[in-house]
Structure 1
Amino acid sequence: ISVKIKNLLIFLIFTVKRVAFSASLLASGSGIIGPFNTQRPLVFRHVVANIGNAYNPNTGFFIAPVRGAYHFEFYIYGHGHASHPTGAVLVKNGSPVFIAYDHQPSYSVKPSNGVTLLLETGDVVLLNQWENTRIHDSENRHTTFSGHLLFTM
């Protein structure tokens, strides 16, 4: 290969954005969030990885830094309750995409879901707690939200 092509390949390898995050709901301790009568953003405060700094642990927003295909996964933990299920919905730019939802009167539930999305630069992805639900997290980090850039477009 010519020197120009080698230099271009090296440039591309080092300039492709690397984006990945993983976080659990509570920064510390144990607790239940909800129920609320409307959907509310979930803010995942215990960040274990935030490569590229696209996830904001103060707002719960993931903002796409580049156009590309991104994959997200979320796991929501809840204790069984007679009148309050456990659920969250992944939202892209204000529109619901996929929900994780489960309800039983006793024992624990752990609804989950995942999705690959084509995002434009500046698109916002977050999780909203579903209305009338309860979500639990503790030092065991049961309730988590993760995402990463698969490839740019």
Structure 2
Amino acid sequence: MNLFLLLCLGLLFPCTLQKALDEDTLSHILTELKNLQEAQKECTNTVSELKEYKSRVLSLENTVKDFQNTVKELKDTVKDLKHENNKLFSEIHRLKDDRMQNTNRNVNKYESKTEGAAVGLPRVVREEVLNATYPLLIKVIEGTTRKQDNERTRSAFKRSFTMRPTPTYPGQTANTHVAFTVGLSQSEVTLGDHSIVIFDNVFTNIGSAYQKNTGILIAPIKGAYVFSLTMAVSPGQHLYLEIVKDGRFVNSIYADSRSMNNYSSTTKEWILEVNKGSEVWIRCGTRGELHGNLHSMLSGYLLFETN
């Protein structure tokens, strides 16, 4: 209908129709321009958002680089701390060894001074003098000896003070065969610093050199002995053990299960020359828990006699 009217108007008023068509076109063009302006505005906003995102990405990249540098610095710090920790452990073991050597020298010096002092005294008097004198010995060694070492020192002092002869070893065989294998039967054993590990389950004890009640091997003859120790720790635990000869630190063994959710075990073997009557035992280097259930074992035997 509108088209028909326009045609009629065009026939009657051709100028008016042309003017109407021009206004229509102009209006259409203005509408398109307005749409283009809106689209341009949206594009401008999008470009601004993209620039902002780009800036954020660059900032995140810089942050990641900073984190990477921090992680690298932390790794270097951890490496340095581990190195310092190893140095501290070595220094601790050296100080413990020096302390034990000083203690032994003081004890031997004191024994040499008191040897034979009680000859001819009645037994009761000897015991009274011993009980009165022993605290002075503890002062001489400046309190550096642990409870277990004090008991051993007291026994050694008592033997020299009362002029007892060279001790015999219960169950000692007439021949020179010495061999033993013992294990720790308890599930978990909490050990203090320098506590003696007593392996209570005896599998073999030829020659009866290993003392079950004290955990100490007393050599019946002089010779080269082989000792093999296997230790185990529970998940999350770590522990140092030490082999000791006549109160002196010889070497250590270490098991660490802190970085794994499982038990950890270590085995180490030594060949030591041991004098007749010398004592060898295993002690705890640092406080901790030792896993038993016969997973911690100690074996030893006489390899050959020496002169």
> Shorter-chain TM-score: which interval?
0.7 to 0.9
Q: 2:140 is matched with which residue?
A: none
Q: Is 1:31 aligned with 2:187?
A: yes
Give 2:199's aligned residue.
44
Name the Cα RMSD after superposition: 1.6
**Any idea what the Cα deviations from partners look like across 1:119-144, whole Å, max 9, x if unmatched?**
11011000002222210111xx2100
1:19 is aligned to 2:173: no
The whole-number CA distance in structure 2 between the counterparts of 1:144 and 1:104 is 18
Q: TM-score, normalised by structure 1?
A: 0.80
Find the residue that maps to 1:110 and give its secondary structure. Answer: strand
* 1:2-151 equivalences in 2 (<5 Å): 16-26=175-185, 30-36=186-192, 38-81=193-236, 84-105=237-258, 106-138=261-293, 141-151=294-304
Q: How many residues align?
A: 132
Distance 1:128 1:116 in 2: 18
Gaps of 5+ in 1: 1-14
Does the Cα contact within 8 Å between 1:77 and 1:143 map onto a contact in 2? Answer: yes
Aligned-partner Cα distance in 2 for 1:107–1:130:
22
Q: Is the 8 A contact 2:232 2:255 kept in 1?
A: no
Higher strand share: 1
Residue number in structure 1 paired with 2:46: none
Cα distance in 2 for partners of 1:118, 1:35 equals 28
User: In structure 1, how many angstroms separate the alpha carbons of the residues matched to 2:299 and 2:208?
Assistant: 13
Greater C-alpha radius of gyration: 2
More helix by share: 2
Q: 8 Å contact 1:98–1:113 — kept in the other structure?
A: no
Structure 2 distance, partners of 1:122, 1:88, is 23
Contact 1:76–1:110 (8 Å) recurs in 2: yes
Name the SS of the counterpart of 2:299 in structure 1: strand
Tell me the distance in 2 between the aligned counterparts of 1:25 and 1:64. 21
Q: Separation in 2 of the partners of 1:77 and 1:87?
A: 11
Percent pairwise identity: 27
For residues 46-98 of structure 1, the C-alpha deviation after alignment (integer angstroms, 9 at most, x for no partner) is 001000000000000001100100000000111121xx413311111111112
Q: CA deviation at 1:102?
A: 2.0
Q: Which has the higher contact order (CA 8 A, sep 6+)?
A: 1
For residue 17 of structure 1, report the CA deviation from its aligned partner.
0.4
Stretches of 4+ aligned residues off by more than 6 angstroms: none
Hey, what does 1:12 align to over in structure 2?
A: none
8 Å CA contact 2:179–2:204 kept in 1: the answer is yes
Question: How many Å apart are 1:34 and its aligned residue?
Answer: 1.4
